[in-house]
């Protein structure tokens, strides 16, 4: 809604013409409100201002800082990069270098790391979907009073630190770990499986850690689905699996998209899981980023990697937004 000029809606001329007593002079409060309104600061605007301020302060400004660093050159010192703007001989000197971005193309390590990250994120997302969908479906179709406790079980792992849970997986997957001891104890295998420090461990770690982010949005869409639609489908001759494919699955698409992106986007940039569970050859962009920042101290290149990663992920994020918007439109109709 556009800000309204209070003078437009004021009935002063009409009242004066009708010979009514003059309207009382505007109070200070009215004047302040008038000014804020003219600036577009209505109550509604104020409410939106909060999130905007948050985004500007903690997303946009940091992004500009990273962008600035990415076009600087590495230097020895603190901070370890050159200044963007410098006073030199009474004139402004602008240093913009693309050496950081250049490195991305010179060394195919980065391209491989990006592609491998996308692959690992994609496969993990698929695993989350395959495991998470039946779980979400089971919770959504459980008797109403059982749903709360079941959801609680999904959220329960968050009560333990993420890092500790990843460490727990290390002790499960290692050569003399829980899993190998169990399998060997049962006589199923005779030599320990080499799972820890491999891509498989990374898949397990990411799938485990991000599963709740898949289940929760899926549950939300499945739970609000109208059960009579399935009855209608059955009534029209659809067998249960056909009803699932033609009714449940398409209608839960917004949940599938939301859940997949909530897993996929952070999984691409994941750093802790590949570092702890992955092998030395598990190439992931989050890890390379960390190496560049803290091992090579090449902040401009690291920033360039971060910006390229963001560019990679803008696409999926926009798909996510699109589906969210569509879902909300439908809800309003």
Query: From the CB of residue 107, how many other CB atoms can be counted at a distance below 10 Å?
Result: 13
Q: Do 95 and 83 form a contact (C-beta atoms < 8 A)?
A: yes
Q: Does residue 226 belong to the site contacting another protein (CB under 8 A)? A: yes
Smaller CB separation from another protein, 65 or 232 = 232
Exactly one of 112, 153, 229, 245 binds another protein (CB under 8 A); which one?
229
**Residues 6 or more apart in contact with residue 174 via CB below 8 angstroms:** 180, 196
The CA distance from 325 to 333, in Å, is 13
Minimum distance, C-beta of residue 245 to another protein, in the bound complex (Å): 12
Q: Which two tokens stand for residue 253?
A: 């698409």
Size of the site for another protein (CB under 8 A): 19
Enclosing H/E stretch for 86: strand 85-88
The conformational region for residue 308 under phi > 0 = left, psi -120 to 50 = alpha, else beta, is alpha
Residue from the set 233, 267, 292, 305 that interacts with another protein by CB under 8 A: 233
Report, in Å, the least distance between residue 333 CB and another protein.
Answer: 4
- Of 228, 281, 311, 315, the one binding another protein (CB under 8 A) is 228
Q: Which stretch binds another protein (CB under 8 A): 66-74, 118-126, 238-246, 291-299?
A: 238-246
Neighbouring C-beta atoms of residue 261, cutoff 10 Å:
22
146 near another protein, judged by CB under 8 A: no
Interaction of residue 232 with another protein, rule CB under 8 A: yes
Picking from 151, 156, 158, 157, the residue whose alpha carbon sits closest to that of residue 135 is 151
Cα gap 304→301, rounded to integer Å: 5
Helices (H), 56-161: 61-70, 99-106, 108-141, 144-155
Contact flag: residue 72 with another protein (CB under 8 A): no
One symbol per residue from 250 to 289: x for binding another protein (CB under 8 A), - otherwise; what is it? xx--------------------------------------
Of the two residues 32 and 232, which places its CB atom closer to another protein in the complex? 232
Q: Does residue 245 bind another protein (CB under 8 A)?
A: no
**CA 175 distance to own-chain centroid:** 34
Fill in the per-residue mask, 28 to 67: x = in contact with another protein (CB under 8 A), - = not in contact: ----------------------------------------
Distance CA 223, CA 37 (A): 42
Confirm or reject binding of residue 71 to another protein (CB under 8 A).
Answer: no
Note the residue count of the chain: 333
Q: How far apart are CA 308 and CA 329, in angstroms?
A: 32
- Shortest Cβ 241–another protein spacing (Å): 11
User: At its nearest, how many Å lie between another protein and the CB of residue 142?
Assistant: 18
Contact positions toward another protein, by CB under 8 A?
226, 228-229, 231-239, 242, 246-247, 250-251, 330, 333
């Amino acid at each position: 809604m556009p800000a309204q000029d209070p003078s437009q809606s004021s009935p002063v001329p009409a009242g004066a013409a009708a010979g009514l007593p003059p309207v009382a002079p505007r109070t200070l409060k009215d004047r302040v409100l008038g000014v804020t309104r003219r600036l577009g600061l209505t109550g509604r605007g104020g409410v939106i201002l909060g999130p905007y301020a948050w985004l500007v302060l903690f997303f946009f400004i940091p992004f500009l800082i990273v962008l600035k660093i990415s076009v600087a050159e590495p230097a020895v010192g603190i901070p370890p990069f050159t200044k963007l703007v410098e006073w030199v001989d009474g004139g402004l000197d602008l240093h913009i270098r693309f050496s950081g971005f250049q490195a991305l193309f010179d060394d195919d390590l980065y391209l491989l790391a990006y592609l491998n990250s996308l692959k690992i994120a994609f496969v993990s997302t698929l695993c989350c979907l395959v495991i998470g969908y039946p779980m979400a479906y089971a919770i959504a179709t459980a008797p109403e009073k059982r749903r709360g406790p079941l959801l609680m079980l999904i959220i329960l792992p968050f009560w333990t630190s993420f890092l500790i849970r990843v460490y727990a997986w290390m002790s499960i997957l290692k050569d003399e770990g829980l899993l190998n001891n169990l399998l060997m104890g049962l006589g199923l295998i005779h030599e320990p499986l080499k799972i820890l420090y491999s891509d498989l461990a990374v898949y397990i770690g990411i799938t485990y850690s991000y599963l709740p982010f898949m289940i929760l949005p899926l549950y939300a869409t499945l739970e609000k689905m109208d059960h009579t639609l399935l009855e209608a489908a059955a009534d029209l001759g659809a067998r249960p699996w056909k009803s699932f494919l033609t009714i449940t699955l398409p209608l839960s698409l917004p949940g599938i998209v939301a859940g997949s992106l909530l897993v996929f986007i952070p999984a691409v940039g994941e750093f802790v899981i590949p570092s702890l569970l992955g092998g030395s050859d598990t190439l992931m962009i989050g890890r390379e980023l960390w190496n560049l920042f803290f091992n090579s101290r090449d902040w401009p290149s690291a920033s360039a990697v971060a910006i390229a990663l963001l560019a990679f992920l803008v696409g999926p994020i926009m798909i996510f937004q699109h589906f969210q918007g569509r879902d909300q439109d439908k809800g309003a109709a």
